[in-house]
Chain A
């Protein structure tokens, strides 16, 4: 079975600072990797995904993530945090047939003014 580890259940940054949310996965097959964002009382929204091709993927709202196979990582970054980025972020991995998605436990991002 696949698993996802998100280091840091809470991350706090100042507005304008770099955002780095960590995600490591375990997979016996080439994974498909995703980042989702969840705002309070809302469903999850896809930020970005890696399936094949370029390992640096860009998503919405200025976020990007890099797939590093040797490190089994898919960390999420944003150069400059905005107050509106405050939310919970989930990393997820799927097998090739997309029958099941495995989610990490989430990281709550707090952005300080």
Chain B
């Protein structure tokens, strides 16, 4: 079962450092979403891609955040100059091809701790 995978699973960094997370969606899923989940909260939408195009970004995604999905396959989420408030679980999800966007398959998440 090749589900959505995320790497790393855990990341501890010092404030001010840059971090990059990777998400590998299920093969041939053309939509990919990034979410942030803080303790006691549900996932909050950050951004999504259809193939390689980034079609929407949340206002939560400050200028320090950037996401890419080259070639419409895996995606990366980079956070520059991390702050303690960035500590959260970062979730990735992908959805099947057109017509069935309504089921998201989530990865296990990357837990970021900023010291």
Contact = CB atoms under 8 A, between A and B. Distances in A.
B30 interface: no
Interface string A83-105: 00000001010100111111111
Interface size class of B (residues with CB under 8 A): 20 to 34
A7 interface: no
Interface of B: 3-4, 31, 33, 35, 40-45, 48, 55-56, 91, 93, 95, 101-109
Contacts of B55: 99
Contacts, number: 59
A100 B45 contact: yes
Interface size grouping (class) on chain A: 20 to 34
B41 A105 contact: yes
Given A9-B40, A100-B48, A100-B56, A44 B102 contact: no
A86 B93 CA distance: 23
